[in-house]
Amino acid sequence: MLIRSLTLATLLAIAGPLFAADGDSPLDIDRGRARPLIVIAPSTADPVWRNLKQSMEEPANKQGLTERNIRVYSVLNMSGQLDGKDLGQQDTMALIRALKLGAGALPKVILVGKDGEKKLESSGEESKTVDLKKIFDTVDALPATEKEAVVPTPPPVAAEAAPAKGAKNGKPAKPAKPAKPPEQPDD
């Protein structure tokens, strides 16, 4: 009995973090609701980040981000933000894990659709050519089914379960007798 308990405890200790890490990304919250735009740069002085940030501050572009339902994530020097508000370190790391990016010091710009798929991805020198016009054009070119994507709602739970076999006039059936445990072989 002690060995079984220790084995179970060991399995739970190993598997627990694996189950916890599944689906803990901030991107999971946005799936079906918004289009995440993720900008990853080694520092706040990176030209890719500065150009995008300046263009996002213009009123017409702010309205364009809102109309297209784009949420801006930035990871600058391993510090994450969502629409200018700090993300915790765990959320930042979960975001990076969810994107399945390799290590690198090059800036990256990624647009994720409402369906959770990457719609635009650029890295390094290619990222310097990405501007909000290109991002807006990518969103506008998406098929109508992706534009209208919403989170599926779970089906309603049945209010009352069907009566059990042998139930008469709405009365519950007698509980069955417990099965006899199997006999253990002698060693």
> How high is the pLDDT of residue 148?
56
- Write down the pTM of the prediction: 0.61
Distances (CA, A) of 165 to 6, 168, 176, 179: 41, 9, 11, 18
Q: Is the pLDDT of residue 19 over 60?
A: no
The upper half-sphere exposure of residue 11, i.e. CA atoms within 13 Å in the direction of its Cβ, equals 6
Residue 180: inside a domain: no
Residue 4: inside a domain: no
Residue 152: inside a domain: no
Query: Can you give the residue range of the structural domain that contains 42?
Result: 33-141
With cut-offs at 50, 70 and 90, classify the pLDDT of residue 9.
low
Mean model confidence pLDDT for the chain: 74
CA distance 120 to 43: 22
Cβ partners under 8 Å of residue 170, min gap 6: 163
Residue 78: inside a domain: yes
CA distance 4 to 74: 47
Is residue 68 within 8 A of residue 60, CB to CB? The reply is no
Residue 156: inside a domain: no
Average pLDDT rounded to a whole number, residues 128-151: 72
**Size of the chain, expressed as the number of residues it contains:** 187
Q: Is the pLDDT of residue 15 over 60?
A: no
Residue 49: inside a domain: yes
Residue 8: inside a domain: no
CATH number at residue 76: 3.40.30.10
Task: List, for residues 22-79, the tens digit of each pLDDT value.
Answer: 457 777 877 888 888 888 888 888 888 888 888 888 888 888 888 888 888 888 887 8
Residue 159: inside a domain: no
Number of domains forming the structure of the chain: 1
As a dihedral over the C-alpha atoms of residue 175, residue 180, residue 181, residue 185, rounded to 10 degrees, the angle is: -170
As a dihedral over the C-alpha atoms of residue 115, residue 116, residue 119, residue 121, rounded to 10 degrees, the angle is: 180
Q: Which of 4-8, 25-29, 123-127 has the lowest mean pLDDT?
A: 4-8
Q: Comparing C-alpha atoms, which of 76, 75, 49 is closest to residue 132?
A: 49
Distances (CA, A) of 24 to 62, 87, 160: 28, 13, 33
Task: List, for residues 144-174, the tens digit of each pLDDT value.
Answer: 655 554 444 445 555 444 555 555 565 666 7
